[in-house]
Amino acid sequence: MKFSAQVLPFIYRAIGSKHLPASNISFVHLDSHPDLLIPVNMPADTVFDKETLFSELSIENWIMPAVYAGHISQVVWLHPPWAQQISEGKHHFLIGKDISTTTIRVTGTDYYFLSDGLYVPADQLENQKPLNLHVILINPTEVSNSQEENGEVASAKRLKLNTDDTASTVSASSSVVPGDLDRSTPSLKKKEVQSASAPNKAETLSECSASSSLRNGECPIREVVKDVCQVLQKGDAYVLDIDLDFFSVKNPFKEMYTQTEYELLQELYNFKKPHRNATEEGLLDCVENRVHQLEDLEAAFADLCDNDDEETLQKWASYTGMKPLVQLVHSLKTRMESPDYEMVHQAGLTCDYIELPHHVSTEEEIEGLIQSVKVLLKDMPKPTLVTVARSSLDDYCPSEQVDIIQEKVLNLLGSVYGALDVHLDYSSTSSFL
């Protein structure tokens, strides 16, 4: 598969074959990006036409439609230290159909949702579904020589779901069906870090999982396991989704544009945050202003696609906040015969208040994260389905590292779950991962 959105067909297939229940699924997501946005203009009822739905999704917005459809009720985003797009802790909010636009919207007030114009009050939503979102930091484990030799890290006693073990596995012989997904173009909206002052209602997880360092031995990994298992006990089954850019990640737009161009994009797309204790009216004003800002920017770059002469440029530069457009376009045209303004707009959408995560990990950091994940999985119940996304064709996972990371992840899964039924679906010579 080329996009992580193609995880969803695997999930729907497992629902259709009765390996997964149709509702109350927990979703454990290891990634440097949350992927929890929503297709902004997609009618909410699209979720009930799966083929149309799959064609509408992209790599940053494929999870939430499954929440609105009623399949997923709990999401656990396990993130590395360099990815903090959504504030740490427990977030409880509603997702539903906006009665005024018939699109999918949320009551979540984190900057991640506000900056994409996705917030509405609860009384504006119909067909409401509650979502429990848990954001938990995973630090690399310091691997000692003895641990490296033995391939083991001390683990806590495994906690079990309150369900029949046979119901949580695909078959008696294999609990894992890793579907490997590769992505081909940079994300339209892969959000990055926000400040801790975001006006959201998140509760803080245990101090261990939220702030302490595994590397320094301050927090036993079992504390993180407890947090995750408490979430899983609320669901009837769970899917484990691993994106290889969890272990090492690049911001591909930084290689497309100069530092000056990137800074101009940040200025153009800057998100004006609401006051810390904003009222509902203040949040609505914030979202309305943001939507108008993004609509103007989209229209400007669409216009430049047709004609990027000086007259067109100056017309748009006269709009409030659009003055940096002149310097940006002039710079692009000195480097490129015909700039891809649609791609420029997509790049801008990813740098609204802070940059995308960019951290090319050392071998030691990759191995440390592998060990942390191994301890987590050894102490968690078996998932029904495991999906693995490579994220290398779009350069989110460094191409020079992706195969090494994939091998380590598959070895990890094999060591925890035994023989794997592996399906490859990312190259022209294979039909599945």
pLDDT above 60 (res 313): yes
Q: To 10 degrees, what angle do helices 341-349 and 259-268 make?
A: 70
Which SS3 state, helix, strand or coil, does residue 243 take?
strand
H helix runs in 69-178, sequence order: 111-114, 145-150
Q: What is the pLDDT of residue 428?
A: 42
Q: How confident is the model at residue 46 (pLDDT cuts 50, 70, 90)?
A: very high
Asked which of 206-220, 295-309, 339-353, 399-413 is least confident by mean pLDDT, the reply is 206-220
Facing residues of 97 across strands?
104, 126
Q: What is the pLDDT of residue 5?
A: 57
Q: What is the pLDDT of residues 201-226, one digit of tens each?
A: 455 444 444 443 434 343 567 789 99
Closest of 374, 379, 377 to residue 157, by C-alpha: 379
CB 249 within 8 A of CB 183: no
- 157 burial (CB, 10 Å; 0-12 / 13-18 / 19+) is exposed
pLDDT above 90 (res 361): yes
pLDDT above 80 (res 187): no
CA distance 304 to 308: 4
Q: What is the pLDDT of residues 50-90, one digit of tens each?
A: 999 999 999 999 999 999 999 999 999 999 999 989 999 99
Q: What is the pLDDT of residue 184?
A: 39
Please list, in sequence order, all residues whose beta carbon lies within 8 angstroms of the beta carbon of residue 337, skipping any fewer than 6 positions away.
Answer: none
Facing residues of 180 across strands?
388
Asked which of 201-210, 239-248, 271-280, 336-345 is least confident by mean pLDDT, the reply is 201-210
